[in-house]
Amino acid sequence: MKIQRIAAFSHDGKGGNPAGVVLLDATVAGAEMARVAADVGYSETAFAVALDASRKNWQVRYFSPESEVPFCGHATIALGAVLGQTFGPGTYALTLNTGSITVETDKSGDEMTATLLSPPTHSEGVTPDALHDALTLFQLTPDDLDPRLPPARIHGGADHLVLPLRSRARLAAMAYDLDHGRMVMRKHGLVTVMLVFVEADQTFVARNAFASGGVFEDPATGAAAAAFAGYLRDQGWPHGGSLTIRQGEDMGSPSLISVSLDTVKGAPVRVSGTARRIDP
């Protein structure tokens, strides 16, 4: 297999979240994809096989070092960049295990830009048990939470728990035990836990713990960004049609995620970013 290494949601040619991308000539067993993803060691590796000769329709699966995940935003942006570089800019249809999405690609200077159209979004209140476990995991108290936005279980292709924090400093101090986090996230069926600070009505700073996949933190999380945008829309937050999420700053890998959305609750959202190739 040829493994391409791409950093998605990079900012000014730096940072971003590394993903592996493998374009397959034919389908392979899930166990082989899992083995390769574990060897790559990135938070996710996307495996794609063309469904027809046009190379515009692809079957895609995503694997973390420890598990298969239903959808990964940053790996989709990375995949879009590879498809655009290999077959030319345009729109590619992606068939996932749980549905279908698209990714559009274009050239931007020395980098590729990609925009994914997420699966439908939805959100719901978090159970007292899940909230207690999450607060305990991060050594947080209810007083650390931003009263303007309630904790919630959010979905935009995968399930996440979001904890809006009232303090940027508290966000910067995020710490937790990886094994404990893995247990909590798997117990409650979560891909990540998203801690977020509201910098302005349309600008947010986020950190995403990804212990369920064996990774302490994701520098950029497109699936969580899509879910978070849908959650804000559900809450009636003044999103103005677009949002910016900065991620990875506190781990030295600054990433920039742009989201555009309409006012229709539950509708898919558009998540955009640039991608850069990682030197071997």
Tens-place pLDDT, residues 168-210: 999 999 999 999 999 999 999 999 999 999 999 999 999 999 9
pLDDT of residue 107: 82
Q: Of 11-25, 103-117, 193-207, give the range with the top mean pLDDT.
A: 193-207
What six digits make up the tokens of 20?
A: 């592996």
Residue 49 Cα distances to 56, 71, 274, angstroms? 11, 16, 23
Q: How confident is the model at residue 112 (pLDDT cuts 50, 70, 90)?
A: confident
C-alpha to C-alpha distance for 153 and 5, rounded to whole angstroms = 31
Interval 74-83: pLDDT, tens:
999 999 999 9
Low-confidence winner among 9-13, 153-157, 186-190 (lowest mean pLDDT): 9-13
pLDDT the model gives residue 191 = 94
Cα distances from 228 to residues 103, 118, 121, 140, 176, in angstroms, run 19, 12, 9, 20, 22
- Residue 107 is encoded by which pair of tokens? 């050239």
Q: What is the DSSP secondary structure assignment for residue 55, as one 8-state letter?
A: S
Segment 150-173 shows an average pLDDT of 97
User: In the predicted model, is pLDDT for residue 109 greater than 80?
Assistant: no
Size of the chain, expressed as the number of residues it contains: 280
Residues 240-278 pLDDT 10s = 999 999 999 999 999 999 999 999 999 999 999 999 999
**pLDDT at position 99 over 90:** no
Whether the per-residue pLDDT at 143 is higher than 80: the answer is yes
Instruction: Kindly indicate the confidence band of residue 280, based on its pLDDT and cuts at 50, 70 and 90.
Output: low
* Domains of the chain as residue ranges with CATH: 4-117 (3.10.310.10), 122-277 (3.10.310.10)
Of the candidates 103, 64, 53, the residue with the CA atom closest to the CA atom of residue 83: 103
Burial of 86 (0-12, 13-18, 19+ CB in 10 A): exposed
Q: If you average pLDDT over residues 121-135, what whole number do you get?
A: 98
pTM of the entire predicted model: 0.92
Neighbouring-strand partners of residue 275: 8, 112
- 98-118 per-residue burial string, b: 16 or more CB within 10 A, e: under 16: eeebbbbbeeeeebbbbbbbb
Query: Any residues with CB less than 8 A from the CB of 229 and at least 6 apart, and which?
Result: 121, 156, 239, 243, 259, 261, 269, 271
Condensed to tens digits (0 to 9), the pLDDT of residues 20-71 reads 999 999 999 999 999 999 999 999 999 999 999 999 999 999 999 988 999 9
